[in-house]
Amino acid sequence: DAKTTQPPSMDCAEGRAANLPCNHSTISGNEYVYWYRQIHSQGPQYIIHGLKNNETNEMASLIITEDRKSSTLILPHATLRDTAVYYCIVRVAPIIQGAQKLVFGQGTRLTINP
């Protein structure tokens, strides 16, 4: 699976949009971008994933550049509860039935400030 690079930490004011970047310059055509987050002392939580089109769900939006070498996770109105470590993971979606293998990088520690 392709390696990802994320800034180690970021700060954002409460109520503002938090934009978390991720570089994955060696991504292949069949590799998806996944985002998980881990709030302190909890298990990781799935946020969103995408292949090449921008994606949006109730938690966040995912913007993937046209060349797919980078992406941005957007939390539109950050709250204090969004303080967490955010992991960007690139992996191949299984083409046959089988369990997945997630390889977590170091992630970005996002702090939302009041």
Partner 1 sequence: DTEVTQTPKHLVMGMTNKKSLKCEQHMGHRAMYWYKQKAKKPPELMFVYSYEKLSINESVPSRFSPECPNSSLLNLHLHALQPEDSALYLCASSQVLGLLKDTQYFGPGTRLTVL
For partner 1, the binding residues (CB under 8 A) are 32, 34, 38, 41-46, 49, 85, 87, 93-107
Task: Describe the strand order of the beta sheet including 9-13 as a list of residue ranges.
Answer: 9-13, 108-113, 84-92, 31-38, 45-50
Q: Tokens at residue 86, please?
A: 């955010």
Closer residue to partner 1 in complex, CB, 40/114:
40
Closer residue to partner 1 in complex, CB, 15/94:
94
Closer residue to partner 1 in complex, CB, 1/14:
1
